[in-house]
Structure 1
Amino acid sequence: MKQSTALKIAAGVAAAAIGGAFLYSRSTRPPVINPKVPEPAKSVDLDRYLGKWFELARHENRFEKGLDAVTAEYSLDEDGTIIVANSGAQGGPKGERSFVEGHAIVADEETNAKLKVSFFGPFYTGDYWVLDHGDAYDWSIVGEPGGRYLWVLTREAKPAPAVTEAILKRVETLGYDRWALRLTRHI
């Protein structure tokens, strides 16, 4: 694993979670694709949310540029925090994989839909909002309150085209421009 790629992923997730304010100047942050980010649509059962997710699409950003075959794995740590393990392949789905690990805590215990994530210790935490998810926890739409970052996650690397279309339509109903998203390639 190349350290620079791992740092790009770590910096990216941290920047996304905090709206990029600490790591990037205003000129390098992605544009706002939703000026009115909605509150999460429903509560999250963390036990069902844990596990492996595949990135279906994302609002392209500087720190994930060129990454494909992106995955996120969530597991419960002994201390009660959630371990967040992200990986991706540089230059295409078969490219060299990089990996970064962080931790998340629940920020809204009433719904469990808002988390605080950190890849750089307690000084750089950011918002991770599960804006919506499938009833079977087969897909998830993740954003942050600034409206600059968005990820669409699924349990399958390549969901059926009809499933993908339905999820992307849900992205639109949440106020996002689905055409601003980059589809992530998987093997």
Structure 2
Amino acid sequence: MSLLATLLSACAGKQLTPIATVKHVDLPKFMGDWYVIAAIPTGIETESYNAVESYQLNKDGTIATTFTFNKGGLNGPVKKYEPKGFVVKDSGNATWGMQFIWPIKAEYLIAYLDESYSQTVIARNARDYVWIMARTPKIKEDEYKKLTLFVKDLGYDISKLREVPHNN
């Protein structure tokens, strides 16, 4: 192998397998409030408490999103962000672009969704951020373990996973 080929392969690093999404998401059923149970958080949510992601389907097919949380403690100041979700065509409604700042759309992959639409895992191919969410602010310990194992199997470092405290 030539020196150039060796250097190029070393610089390429480890290629990650793309994350599989669920086959189909019934968007009206997915809408509503989702409590963030745990996350490998983005910079804005490292000190989040009572974190809730709410979705509303717009007439044009986009998703009005409201992300609220208390910063720094259960009774900390309320922070609110309103990104817009864009469902990727022919993705079974399981791949979205989430736009906080125009024109950038962050990847949003619905990697897990239980049949009752009560628990979900949102992932990214970069394995930088992940969210375990539920319709209730707390889930059973065995369910949490199952979902964290799922996240680990996706290729995430679960030592970075932060449980998000909730008042309820």
Which TM-score tier does this pair reach, normalised by the shorter chain? 0.7 to 0.9
1:80 CA displacement: 2.3
Tell me which of 49, 54, 67 is aligned to 1:68: 49
Aligned to 2:29: 48
For residues 122-181 of structure 1, the C-alpha deviation after alignment (integer angstroms, 9 at most, x for no partner) is: x12121111111111111111122111111111110112222222222222323232320
Aligned to 2:83, the other structure's residue is in SS state strand
1:40 CA displacement: 0.9
**RMSD in angstroms over aligned alpha carbons?**
1.8
Aligned to 1:157, the other structure's residue is in SS state coil
Unaligned runs of 5+ in 2: 1-14
Unaligned runs of 5+ in 1: 1-33
**8 Å Cα contact 2:19/2:124 also seen in 1:** no
Q: What TM-score do the two structures reach when normalised by structure 1? A: 0.75
Query: Residue type matched to 1:39 in 2?
Result: A
Q: Which is higher, the Rg of structure 1 or of structure 2?
A: 2
Aligned to 2:142, the other structure's residue is in SS state helix
Number of matched pairs: 153
1:37 CA displacement: 4.2
Q: What TM-score do the two structures reach when normalised by structure 2? A: 0.83
Q: Tell me, in whole angstroms, the C-alpha distance in 2 between the residues paired with 1:78 and 1:61.
A: 29
Superposed counterparts of 1:1-187, under 5 Å: 35-121=16-102, 123-187=103-167
Task: Name which structure has the greater RCO, CA cutoff 8 Å, separation 6+.
Answer: 1
Identity fraction in percent: 24
